[in-house]
Structure 1
């Protein structure tokens, strides 16, 4: 591969375990970009193919400059951008040429929209039989919901997450995180890696479908099948510990604290502290793990009342001395400024040519041989278009023809204004 200008400035960064793997990334919003960002962190050359308007998350405020919103910046490092109009014949042909030398092609476009320009799995595998073609859909193609639009909120609702919250709080609410997008994105990443492993063994590419609904259903039901795990059912669904109304950060006399008294040893230490060391002095529902797991609502309610009798500092000191799992209740600023995250270097600083210094949460795992890395900034729309095409063998004349046709979109002048 060429593209020296992209790589030389970051020559000191480790290449990562996927160095040399080329990914054509036709995804947008959050689920797909999160998956391909992880592949990029692992060293893959991720080519982000955007529409003339760009990924919709570019427009999500806050931002310093147009089309460089914070949500986009947090999900698209270690990628290069080319803006192609796939409705133009030249745009589609350019994409096929890029895919011909790629290892992975990933998209989150509805199947019918990929079939119209003949960019489906069969079309691309005919061009490149070694290709791993990954489709991130809302719903599996074999079911009655196939082809429906899907977003994080809708998939959360379908997989009962807001309803479960409603059982506890009295009102159904979505999770304040893009839960479905990120969980499905993680599943897409490991599916792509497994398919690459299969290809290394056999030389065969293949098509993979990663559906949001089914993936999240598996995630939720792993906790909550409960009595319906058995045929016939021996009780209702729902893991009672997770649904107990008093399973929450505990209010102390002056704040909140998170704690989980779990093992018999931990409970014994807790009982000693509050003067209930003698089992005869306690409610029998507290006296064994079997009794406690059968009476979660009572246990959590009782524990919540006890926690209000002392200060946060007193509880944190005791839990630390008694080796009881605990943590302070962070808000977002507390999380970002957490001293442990600072010590391990999770939040990295990136110098961006137009956006100044950025802070992003980098890869969390540590590797002894081929560590992931944050090597390059999230790209401006179409920033690397000509570079990517030249690497694929396009001549200057062919590139100029794509520009004239409107199939290749050059970076907008507004994207080049430096902020520092």
Structure 2
């Protein structure tokens, strides 16, 4: 049932950041009602699919939700959305604030209807600054928050991390903020508006590592954590592939050198002999380690690292990670039967609770799949629902 059982979330989000946040809340037991436009969330169309509008990216950020498709631009849909707001604990949106205001769904309007409502706005930028009205996407925020610059400082070309890390990190930050507001409401009985900006959230995370000497006034250097920026901080090439290892503490390094029969290096080469010296010579340290790793196979190194108690992992591909022995043993990747999409692989909820266990409550929904059910629960009659379908305010799920 999950620790959030009994909490109702009204999900007015699209693409990735917002849907990922609300999926986490749904996995934790909340009743999440996803409100889509008649055209549906655009990510429904991304990736290979068995049926139109049910792509894998959508299905992997929209499980544990029910779905209603409302045309919020039609006045006939307003009674429905207001009734859902009235009965919600939390409304989550990543629609730009001006657009929400045009729809008559600003916090100020909805708080009059439901003073206990927690209104969580996932926005691109702090709304008090000059960027407030700009659109924000993961690529832009990766560049603006210095992620791309980090690749330059590490000796490469400006690059984006090949995953929507800003969307997902800010989505998790949104979950944190929402749950904090839920806890505060238990004391005050009042809702509130919270804003979670992508830009500031990601700058806070990245610069937490890389402020360096810029922390001081005047600056002591140009910023940047040397170990993270070393050009040889990457998976190490072996004779037959790659291995990921972090030889970090004095104990790691001593055991590593002992394991390869070169134990004297830890005491005779000052560049390896202490944490401070290794940080001061990090490029040399990682470069030399790379030369050593090339002398054996991946399997040999993984065995050596395990026996020496040095942290190491194989470098997985998207396919091989599904066969990782640890993930197989814990059942992280499971198969489910989707009502329309057939057999699917699904990832487990990575968090565990001892008393209120969590698991996905339902697979990702078809567009408008639960519209009539949701409105009936909200108090609308069959005639009301039929009328909304007839005038286009409510869109029913398409038949195959």
- Give the TM-score band, short-chain normalised: over 0.9
CA contact (8 A) 2:271 2:277 kept: yes
- In the TM superposition, residue 313 of structure 1 has moved relative to its aligned partner by 2.4
CA contact (8 A) 1:92 1:117 kept: no
**Greater mean deviation of Cα atoms: 179-188 or 398-407:** 398-407
Change (3 A) 1:30 1:192: same
- In the TM superposition, residue 255 of structure 1 has moved relative to its aligned partner by 2.0
Cα distance between partner residues in 1 of 2:352 and 2:73: 43
Cα distance between partner residues in 2 of 1:388 and 1:314: 57
Name the residue aligned to 1:156: 142
Cα distance between partner residues in 1 of 2:231 and 2:268: 22
Cα distance between partner residues in 2 of 1:291 and 1:406: 69
Report Cα offsets for 1:99-140 as digits up to 9, x if no partner: 001100011001110111210111111110000000011111
CA contact (8 A) 1:162 1:174 kept: yes
Query: 2:378 aligned with 1:392, yes or no?
Result: yes
- In the TM superposition, residue 280 of structure 1 has moved relative to its aligned partner by 8.6
Cα distance between partner residues in 1 of 2:300 and 2:322: 25
**Greater mean deviation of Cα atoms: 250-259 or 51-60:** 250-259
1:172-183 map, 5 Å = 172-183=158-169
Name which of 125, 128, 139 aligns with 2:114. 128
Cα distance between partner residues in 1 of 2:108 and 2:354: 39
1:196-345 map, 5 Å = 196-278=182-264, 282-345=268-331
Name the residue aligned to 2:34: 48
Name the residue aligned to 1:20: 6
Name the residue aligned to 1:406: 392
- In the TM superposition, residue 262 of structure 1 has moved relative to its aligned partner by 1.2
Cα distance between partner residues in 1 of 2:282 and 2:44: 45
Please report the RMSD computed on the Cα atoms of aligned residues, expressed in angstroms: 1.3
Report Cα offsets for 1:197-220 as digits up to 9, x if no partner: 111111110000011001111110
Does the residue aligned with 2:58 lie in a helix, a strand or coil? helix
Name which of 100, 109, 114 aligns with 2:95. 109
Change (3 A) 1:353 1:342: same
Cα distance between partner residues in 2 of 1:323 and 1:192: 40
Cα distance between partner residues in 2 of 1:280 and 1:379: 58
**Greater mean deviation of Cα atoms: 299-308 or 77-86:** 299-308
Name the residue aligned to 2:64: 78
Query: 2:152 aligned with 1:166, yes or no?
Result: yes
Does the residue aligned with 1:133 lie in a helix, a strand or coil? strand
CA contact (8 A) 1:276 1:282 kept: no
Report Cα offsets for 1:234-291 as digits up to 9, x if no partner: 1121100000000111112232111111111121122223443335974321111111
- In the TM superposition, residue 305 of structure 1 has moved relative to its aligned partner by 1.2
Name which of 99, 110, 126 aligns with 2:85. 99
CA contact (8 A) 1:252 1:309 kept: yes
1:333-372 map, 5 Å = 333-372=319-358
TM-score norm. by structure 1 comes to 0.93
Cα distance between partner residues in 1 of 2:361 and 2:246: 39
CA contact (8 A) 2:170 2:196 kept: yes
- In the TM superposition, residue 48 of structure 1 has moved relative to its aligned partner by 0.4
Unaligned 5+ runs, structure 2:
none
- In the TM superposition, residue 165 of structure 1 has moved relative to its aligned partner by 1.6
Unaligned 5+ runs, structure 1:
1-14, 415-420
Does the residue aligned with 2:73 lie in a helix, a strand or coil? coil
**Greater mean deviation of Cα atoms: 206-215 or 92-101:** 92-101
Cα distance between partner residues in 2 of 1:309 and 1:68: 47
Cα distance between partner residues in 2 of 1:275 and 1:353: 58
Name which of 56, 63, 66 aligns with 2:52. 66
- Residue correspondences, number: 400
Does the residue aligned with 2:253 lie in a helix, a strand or coil? helix
